[in-house]
Amino acid sequence: MRRSGLLLHVTSLPSPGGIGDLGRGALEFADFLHAAGQRLWQMLPLNPTGYGDSPYQSFSAFAGNFLLLSLDDLRDQGLLAARDLEAGDFPAGTVGFERVIPHKTALLRRAAAEFFAHASAADRRAFDAFCQTHASWLDDFALFMAAKEARRLVTWTEWEAPLRRRDPAALARERDLRAADIAVHKFWQFEFFRQWQRLRAACRERGIALMGDIPIYVAHDSADVWGRQEMFQLRPDGRPSVVSGVPPDYFSSTGQLWGNPIYRWDVLRDEGYRWWVERVRAAFAAFDLVRIDHFRGLEAYWEVPGGETTAIRGRWVKGPGAGLFRALQRELGELPIVAENLGVITPEVEALRHEFHFPGMAILQFAFGIDKQAPTFRPHNYVRDLVAYTGTHDNDPAVGWWTSSGAADSVRTPEDVRREHEFAAAYLRLGPGEEINWALIRTVLASVADTVIIPVQDLLGLGSGARMNLPGRLQGNWRWRCPPGALTPDLAARLKTLAALYERS
């Protein structure tokens, strides 16, 4: 089935409150997708963000990010007053997390208080049922967040030893002390899932499938690690004994040190990979299709000793491989998974992907450079079972990539950039005056790849200032927002024409 869609994270939607949300802006984007002949909306992980506001460093692998709650929806339910939504003057083009988080959290606490004071009997029954259904992760998550907030957000390894070690008496005492705050966090999750299901139903009515994202690792400072310490390679004080990353390569002489704790795959295997089964089950309940970030780490992963400052002193260790996916198949049946197979990929990784018929990814922006893998990203080498992109959330938007001189790039020299552009112009048959972003869009839509995804920044022809993430940069990422009114009917019509021309709508 040939189809195409757009990549836009929910935080980037033009919504009130300083950050995109699950309300009106999301519905309007779904309308745009439908009008543009698109059938897929890809987004980044929706979990609550921790360090650096990254959706890939979350406080929970199961919970939803309460900052994405629609204040308009809460007002319509009578949980907020109209005047509550008037406060706050936020820029339209960026997410100022340092201002948004305290402002929106205060309003969400007000909404929770109103719910518990005046909710109808039906709403209270729905809330209680939600808490019971999701207790396996919700109880620990709500307790974790309440305990963390009471301790000025310090990481759980800095908590008192009995609570850090999850002594039953300490847990019971903390639940009693934080009962009100625990209830608030449970309400926020209840409302998140309620708003999410409304959005998903609206997308289905418009023929739009939703594509989510599962990072293979979880953040060390998370309810998942605190709650299941035996599942990770930790020291007695709770700190990781080994951490995740990728080794030095063409792009980085020191590799990338991500710092996530490494799973104890032997423990997970002996449990039938139960935690992973439930994690993927939750993802499939929310999305129609799921991308696994850093898929290659499930075949073999780069393990770095804890305390290292770079990823140089690591080693390759075999991951769970086919055993994990066989367990997932037994429990869940068909696995609608996309494997993020970018980077240095071995034949063993590709064999694992092919065994379970997971489509891989191809990034057109990577097709023209000097890296030895560039030919694999050229459309004449594509296969049908592939998800092709102009770029991803980690790339410079197309126009920024095209106008770059290489001055800020430690890998490409200006001469490399000149040759890359020259080759790209010839390959894309870039016509006089044709915008580079539309040449890339046209080329991937015309390819044999069954699925094509276009970042909204490329659709809008935006430059480097609209970049979502620069890997290796610790601050200032994940902030871009789509300008209000940018997704016009004319733009939808132009994209729909191409989608129809190449049989994707």
Half-sphere exposure of 119 (CA within 13 A, CB side): 16
Number of H helices, E strands in the chain: 18, 12
Contacts of 165 (CB under 8 A, 6+ apart): none
Distance, in Å, from the CA atom of 44 to the CA atom of 9, rounded to the nearest integer, reads 5
Neighbours of 193 (CB within 10 A): 17
- Among positive and negative, which fits the CA dihedral 93, 97, 101, 103? negative
Please choose, from the candidates 286, 285, 287, 209, the residue with its C-alpha nearest in 3D space to the C-alpha of residue 3.
Answer: 209
Contact 300, 317 (CB under 8 A): yes
Distance, in Å, from the CA atom of 33 to the CA atom of 271, rounded to the nearest integer, reads 42
Give the pair of three-digit tokens for residue 122. 């039906």
Tokens 């020299």 belong to 413
Give the pair of three-digit tokens for residue 391. 């770029």
The phi and psi torsions of 301 (rounded to 5 degrees) equal: -125, 155
Distance, in Å, from the CA atom of 92 to the CA atom of 90, rounded to the nearest integer, reads 6
Active site members: 293, 340, 394
End-to-end CA distance of the chain: 10
Give the DSSP H/E element, type plus range, for residue 362: strand 360-363
